[in-house]
Amino acid sequence: MIVCPHHQWYYQTDGCFKVAKGQDNLKEWIPDNANLKPVRLEEYGGFLFVNLDLEAQYLHAQAPQFLQDMHNYSPRLDKFICVERYQREVQANWKTILDNNHECYHCAVNHKTLMELVDYQKKAILAASTA
């Protein structure tokens, strides 16, 4: 069984929808519409990439220079090892934690010196222009 810890939707290991809390209260509920979609997982140079487009060209064909570029910037890439991993349990909703750390809605008030170091406005404009 695969369970989404946020929404509490349950899926079989083949991705077929099993049950969701409160689904009986939803009008026009179509369980077949809730199945997980297949994705392609590619290993390329020791990295794992997920591609949502099953018909897309493989990454090694799309970016044949990628690994060479990676090795040029990091010649010992093949020698990298995980030295340490941190894991921390927090008493909070995972989405709240991600929003707090990535969206930085609170930064202007709580982290003024950080806001002086990073040009968030420029990043937002760049992100909007590439979307």
The predicted model scores a pTM of: 0.49
Residue 49's pLDDT is 93
Instruction: Looking at the structure, tell me whether residues 48 and 28 fall in a common domain.
Output: no
Please state the rounded mean pLDDT for residues 75-100. Answer: 82
Tell me the CB-side half-sphere exposure of residue 131, using CA atoms within 13 A. 6
Spatial neighbors of 97 by CB under 8 A, at least 6 apart, are: 90
| Cα 13 to Cα 9, 38, 123, distances in angstroms | 13, 12, 39
Report pLDDT for 41: 93
Residue 99 has pLDDT above 90, yes or no: no
Region 72-87: mean pLDDT is 88
What phi, psi does 9 have (nearest 5°)?
Answer: -95, 140
Q: Which domain holds residue 15?
A: 1-36
Average pLDDT value for residue range 32-54:
90
Full strand arrangement of the beta sheet holding 9-11: 2-3, 9-11, 17-20
Once rounded to an integer, what is the mean pLDDT over residues 117-131? 55
Q: Are residues 45 and 80 in the same domain?
A: yes
Domain count for the chain, please give it.
3
